[in-house]
Amino acid sequence: MADFGLLVEVRSGFCTQLAGHRPGPIFVDVRAPGMGTAALLTSSVLALVYRRAATGRGGWAETSLYDGMLATLGCMIGRSERAAPHIEGYWEKGSTFPNFLYRCADGELLQVWFGGKGMYAKLISVLGDEPSTEGYYSDQTTGKLGERARHWGSFFVTRPRAQWITLLREVGVACEPVLGPGEILADPHLAETGLAVRCSDGPHEDVVVGSPISVSPISSSATAAAYSATPSPAARPGEPVAEDAKPATVRENRGLLSGLRVVDFSAFVAGPLAAEVLADLGADVIKVEPPAGEAMRAAAYAVAACQRGKRSVALDISAPQARPVVERLLSQADVVLHNFRVGVAERLGIDAATVARLNPRAVYCHASAFGSTGPRAKFPGNDALMEAVTGTERAIGGDGNDPIAATWIPIDITGGWLAAAGMLAGLYARGAGDEGQQVATSLLGAGILLHSGAFLRDGELVTGPTLDGAQTGYGPGYRIYRGSDGNWFALVVPSPEAWLRLRDLPGAAPLAQTYAPLRGGPADAAARAAEAVLEAAFAAAPAAAWVDRLQPLGLLAELIAPLDRDGFRRGILDDPVNRQLGRVTAYQTADWGQFEQIGPLLRSGPDAGAGPRLMLPGIGEHTNQVLSELGFSAAEITALLDAKLAAQLAH
């Protein structure tokens, strides 16, 4: 199959998985195959050059647009043997969680999110709605939250958007305006954080998307702290340890990052996914979470997609009695990762300065929402808010339509891959100069990266091809068409020669000779005229008949098969090629029995190692093991467990 993202999406059924503004499949404007492929290649190459710097050995990496699409769908695809009905129901039928998107009195749209602690009650109070007697999670389970979401529209329509933003932010409820792709580049926050960069192009002044990854030396005048109870591993973090001092779980070669330890303090999706990528590459990843488990433990899809291959330590890191454990974790880590809001890491004592003092060679990564500086730095953020403010919801909705949110959290996923790439770049930089590195990424950076073709020229927004109101594509040569039977097919016309072959089709004689595959730009009028010709021609015969006619002419066409969510996941999980290549993996889990999901997608060689541990850690499953490796005595571990400051999963 030709290398075009649209054809990959069509053949897999991806374009059937989001409800649009009309029946049938839609062109989903999130560039999933391209974004995922770039993430896979970037991560693989950085891991390879890290190993080359350490060992002198080269290697190869390979991927595909199909792999790239799968890399964005980890939270969407899964199948279990005996998970609870609401868990298996999510993988089989999709999410029923409402999107809190509201039109205000001035006609502008506002995206609201209140998953943070106390936000639900605060939102209800600001709106003047009846208080919840049961709370957020109960209302979500019983369906009351959905009922509230529907009738809240009558509240939001009473005030203009700017007033609602002020009112909600004053009480700590997260919200963002719904913007179009590229519009956020005019926000001063982006210039301050380097996400918007000014440059000159002849007589024009442009503002373009800057790098979403920052890597710089982590500085500290302090040396690593010494402890009276010195653990057995290496004197310096990152150096090889004696073979008899290594735990069995990390002794074997599991991949390009074998021998490295990652301490993962992150929660939700982007941070945990970043750490999982490093686990897929062979690192020993220790997930540190509260004794009751991190916030997203209640969301099985996030656990499945983002925690595979890690070891879990359940520890109250805010407790003074747990501080020795925290410091020893930090001092022996090669990589430290968190995605707390700005200021929280300092309060918990896992900030960059503390890590640099304890471990000057560590790579420290903060995967934030909006960045660690700037006017928006302390704002909360998640996928829905970023889809709104970076233009993703507008892009998917199509020209002139209401926005549509992607349900597979593409910005969270992109943010995870960005943080993984940043940490890999930090490891390579550390190897070059033997100095620790500080890595910064953000969900905002991930969101604008998806629309990096948009820019400002002399203060005016310039975009590339945009999705039409019918949600069919970018223009006559890159879109989906409907046949006479109501079924759809995709057509990609990559060259002037292919364009001329279209003119030989029945009904296509009026097609102009000018090659105009995309709307927008100087050929916009020609492209729109060509679309009208081709739409009329293709409406004269069934979609399958057109594909059968187009393909022998060397034209790139694919029939779109109607697929529900279960059919889509079965097409991925049951594909024998996917199983052979490791794109799909299956293993036993404690709660769900046999579990199938998208597997580790990073393929490289030679000597790629044994691969990651295929398991999902229970809360605190490895607490005793890891604390013992850190040099704590059985009595010290028992004291933490008895004080409920740590937890060990019972076997």
CB atoms within 10 A of CB 14: 27
CB-CB contact of 95 with 149 (8 Å) = no
Interatomic CA distance for residues 564 and 566, integer angstroms:
6
Interatomic CA distance for residues 326 and 5, integer angstroms:
45
* DSSP-derived pairing of the beta strands 101-103 and 204-209: unpaired
Interatomic CA distance for residues 267 and 295, integer angstroms:
7
CB atoms within 10 A of CB 84: 11
Interatomic CA distance for residues 240 and 633, integer angstroms:
23
Among candidate residues 139, 383, 412, 468, the one labeled active-site is 412
CB-CB contact of 439 with 419 (8 Å) = yes
Residues contacting residue 446 through CB under 8 Å, at least 6 positions apart: 212, 270, 386, 411, 414, 415, 418
Residues contacting residue 122 through CB under 8 Å, at least 6 positions apart: 114, 171, 172, 173
DSSP notation for 343-368: THHHHHT-SHHHHHHH-TT-EEEEEE
412 is catalytic: yes
Task: Tell me the three state secondary structure of residue 585.
Answer: strand
Helix intervals (H) in 227-348 = 248-251, 270-280, 300-306, 323-331, 344-348
Interatomic CA distance for residues 277 and 444, integer angstroms:
20
φ, ψ at 224 (rounded to 5°): -60, 140
Amino acid at 87: I
**Which residues participate in catalysis according to the annotation?**
412
